[in-house]
A and B are shown apart, each in its own frame.
Chain A
Amino acid sequence: MQSMETKRKVTQIAIHIILIIFSFIMLVPFAWMALTAFKSTTEATQVNPFVIFPSQWLTDSFKKVWNNMSFLLLYKNTLLLIFWRVVCAVLTATMAGYGFSRLEFKGRDMMFNLILFQMMIPSQIFLIPQYVMVSNMKMTNTIFALVFPGIVTAFGTFLLKQAYMGLPKDLEEAARMDGCNIFQTFLLIMAPLARSSMVALAIFTAVFAYKDLMWPLVVNTSATKMPLSAALATMQGQYSSNYPDLMAASLIACVPMIVLYLIFQKQFIEGIATSGGKL
């Protein structure tokens, strides 16, 4: 029995060691980003001897990129992009998901097949025509342009439909007995019960909008209308080899989302686990 106990302990320690090694690999790039951002350019590009920790923790790079890149504006653009994408996606998908799961009407199955069809198609196929539409509306370089492809969501509709299908039928019947019409049943009984899937969709949509790079690059080329992702990408061209500046800007761009993630960690992870979508 003694040996079994020791064996278990050894396994336990071995597992921890493997997990720690991988945690280290995951954290090194973030740590290096921070360490470089606090160095001077000379120190960052010094090889003999190679410097890991800055000899002086300088904030010059932060000040410089904060002023040059008008980060407040970038945060605002990103926030508006995320806000409108989440509102549109949750609103339309919550309604459509209910229609597809709990009501029977002519044309429903055909329309739902369109939803499934859209989910199979790689999104780049939509890109040129979507750009042409925005451009014809003379709406490039606006927040509307950033939000545009995400006004509705086939994936979210599918997710919400699945959520409603998991709810018991008696609830609706009871509501109807009490005199609720279809809309009241939806709004007061069923939609609140699908809350956790709405949260999952909201988180998924927010992370996706934050990380999206190609669409903002295509549609908003004016520096004042870019979200963080595209602004960072264009910045790389300008500061090409000033690594402390690049790392400081990357850090400033990542920190708000990381803080949000650390606060709402449980919701983030559950949201991704339930939506499991194509990120």
Chain B
Amino acid sequence: MANKSGKAPMTSWEKNQFKWGWIFILPTMIGLIALNIYPIFATVYQSFFKTGDFGRGNIFVGLENYATMVKDAEVWQSLWNTIKYAIIEVPFSICIALVLAVFLNRKMKGRSVYRAIFFLPMIAAPAAVAMVWRWLYNSQFGLLNNLFGIHVEWISNPKIAWISVAVIGVWSILGYNIVLFIAGLQDIPHDYYEAAEIDGASGVAAFFNITLPLLSPTIFFVLITRVIGAMQMFDLVYMVMDRTNPALPKTQSIVYLFYQYSFNFGNKGYGSAIVMLLLAVILIVTVIQNVGQKKWVFYN
């Protein structure tokens, strides 16, 4: 490794590795730079401009978009809606999935059938999922209200619409979390449970003293990816909430707002500023989670 400094001449083996190494990574790197790295800078740049109506011209406005955003109640309401959505979707989908995964992680009849059913929403088109839930929630003709003989405006009452949307989110993502938890559970050695059983520990005690600590790295991974996923929620609001729905302002997510400004209102500059806010929030939440994990994630 004497020539790591790059000054000594490379041996032919090193030259060979250099050549092939770059050939292997070049397609990915070119694509990555063109499709992802350049766009990051382009979005930051765009956020300093006001896009004219009908796509006419870019006017440099400096930090004006950000200044407007800070005072824009709609942006903060959307951010708050997104956080509220995450506060329901993430803990519920993780806790329910955890319990169901523990139940499924044992020899029993119908195990693969249950697993297949729980996973089903994951491969359904989100547009179809949203449409059928909208139909279930329909206040006049929907299954929910007519089955239970109630008259709840599930998705047009601003007070509860955000919960109704989050319920669809939990329903959609449950199978995904279950699959990841089962994979994690299978790595826990069986001896631990046998030892616990000999000691007379109950199933519940084994869950809290063995399963939870040993599964904590998987739980942490799922938590991080789910929080990031929930912060980027778009499909459900777009499909379930009509533009005229009175509950829309109290349910629209930050990405939905970004989409509206960028592609429907033709203001890509303001859209870019909104998406920078999303980036900042995601980075802050991820840092907090990474610091917090030291308190509860248990690595072997």
Of the residues A29, A233, A246, contact of B171 by C-beta under 8 Å: A29
Question: Count the A residues whose beta carbon is within 8 Å of the partner chain — how many?
Answer: 100
- In the assembled complex, A1 has its CB within 8 A of some CB on chain B: no
A45 & B141 in contact (Cβ 8 Å cutoff): yes
A232 & B128 in contact (Cβ 8 Å cutoff): yes
B28 & A96 in contact (Cβ 8 Å cutoff): yes
Residue of A nearest to B109 (CB): A16
Q: What is the distance, in angstroms, from A104's C-beta to the closest C-beta of chain B?
A: 6
Q: Once bound together, how far apart are the Cα atoms of A243 and B134, in whole Å?
A: 10
- In the assembled complex, B284 has its CB within 8 A of some CB on chain A: no
B132 & A32 in contact (Cβ 8 Å cutoff): yes
A236 & B229 in contact (Cβ 8 Å cutoff): no
Q: What is the distance, in angstroms, from A221's C-beta to the closest C-beta of chain B?
A: 10
B124 & A26 in contact (Cβ 8 Å cutoff): no
Q: Once bound together, how far apart are the Cα atoms of A41 and B145, in whole Å?
A: 18
Given contacts A29-B171, A47-B140, A276-B221, contact A269 B262 (CB under 8 A): no
Residue of A nearest to B242 (CB): A240
Of the residues A105, A114, A277, contact of B32 by C-beta under 8 Å: A114
B182 & A32 in contact (Cβ 8 Å cutoff): no
Chain B residues with CB under 8 A of A276: 180, 183, 221, 225
- In the assembled complex, A189 has its CB within 8 A of some CB on chain B: no
A26 & B174 in contact (Cβ 8 Å cutoff): yes
- Chain B 269-300 interface mask (CB, 8 Å, partner A; 1/0): 00110011011001100100000000000000
- In the assembled complex, B206 has its CB within 8 A of some CB on chain A: no
Q: What is the distance, in angstroms, from A175's C-beta to the closest C-beta of chain B?
A: 14
B46 & A128 in contact (Cβ 8 Å cutoff): yes
Chain B residues with CB under 8 A of A274: 183
A129 & B42 in contact (Cβ 8 Å cutoff): yes
Stretch of A54-62, A64-72, A79-87, A118-126 that contacts chain B: A118-126
Given contacts A26-B171, A100-B25, A128-B272, contact A151 B141 (CB under 8 A): no
Chain B residues with CB under 8 A of A129: 38-39, 42-43, 46
A279 & B37 in contact (Cβ 8 Å cutoff): no
Chain A residues with CB under 8 A of B112: 265
- In the assembled complex, B176 has its CB within 8 A of some CB on chain A: yes
Q: Which of A118, A148, A211, A218 has the most CB of B within 10 A?
A: A211
A128 & B42 in contact (Cβ 8 Å cutoff): yes
B231 & A152 in contact (Cβ 8 Å cutoff): no
Residue of B nearest to A8 (CB): B203
A23 & B114 in contact (Cβ 8 Å cutoff): yes
Secondary structure at the A interface, as helix, strand, loop or mixed, is: helix
Chain B residues with CB under 8 A of A250: 125, 127-128, 131-132
Residue of B nearest to A107 (CB): B22
Residue of B nearest to A231 (CB): B127
Question: Count the B residues whose beta carbon is within 8 Å of the partner chain — how many?
Answer: 96
Residue of A nearest to B140 (CB): A47
Stretch of B60-68, B70-78, B115-123, B154-162 that contacts chain A: B115-123
A94-122 residues at the B interface, CB under 8 angstroms: 95-96, 98-100, 103-108, 111, 114-115, 118, 120-122
Q: What is the distance, in angstroms, from A219's C-beta to the closest C-beta of chain B?
A: 10
Q: What is the distance, in angstroms, from A161's C-beta to the closest C-beta of chain B?
A: 10
B128 & A254 in contact (Cβ 8 Å cutoff): yes
A253 & B125 in contact (Cβ 8 Å cutoff): yes
A233 & B24 in contact (Cβ 8 Å cutoff): no
- In the assembled complex, A196 has its CB within 8 A of some CB on chain B: no
B163-185 residues at the A interface, CB under 8 angstroms: 171, 174-176, 179-180, 182-183
Given contacts A218-B263, A272-B176, contact A118 B36 (CB under 8 A): yes
Chain A residues with CB under 8 A of B92: none
A121 & B279 in contact (Cβ 8 Å cutoff): yes
Q: Once bound together, how far apart are the Cα atoms of A47 and B116, in whole Å?
A: 33
B122 & A152 in contact (Cβ 8 Å cutoff): no
B122 & A279 in contact (Cβ 8 Å cutoff): yes
Of the residues A30, A93, A246, contact of B120 by C-beta under 8 Å: A30
Q: What is the distance, in angstroms, from B194's C-beta to the closest C-beta of chain A?
A: 15
B40 & A126 in contact (Cβ 8 Å cutoff): yes
Q: Once bound together, how far apart are the Cα atoms of A131 and B259, in whole Å?
A: 12
A239-262 residues at the B interface, CB under 8 angstroms: 243, 246-247, 250-251, 253-254, 257-258, 260-262
Q: What is the distance, in angstroms, from B235's C-beta to the closest C-beta of chain A?
A: 5
Q: What is the distance, in angstroms, from A152's C-beta to the closest C-beta of chain B?
A: 3
Of the residues A11, A33, A114, A210, contact of B203 by C-beta under 8 Å: A11
Of the residues A91, A103, A126, A157, contact of B17 by C-beta under 8 Å: A103
Given contacts A95-B27, A258-B123, contact A104 B21 (CB under 8 A): yes
Q: Once bound together, how far apart are the Cα atoms of A110 and B126, in whole Å?
A: 37
A261 & B123 in contact (Cβ 8 Å cutoff): yes
Of the residues B24, B38, B119, B136, contact of A99 by C-beta under 8 Å: B24
7 pairs from A and B in contact (CB 8 Å cutoff): A29-B171, A96-B28, A107-B22, A151-B35, A182-B17, A258-B123, A262-B116
7 closest Cβ pairs, A-B complex = A152-B31, A99-B24, A250-B128, A129-B39, A105-B21, A232-B127, A96-B28
A residues apposed to B, CB below 8 Å:
11-12, 15-16, 18-19, 22-23, 25-30, 32-33, 36, 44-47, 50, 91-93, 95-96, 98-100, 103-108, 111, 114-115, 118, 120-133, 148-149, 151-154, 157, 181-183, 186, 207, 210-211, 213-214, 217-218, 228-230, 232-233, 236, 243, 246-247, 250-251, 253-254, 257-258, 260-262, 265, 268-269, 272-274, 276-279
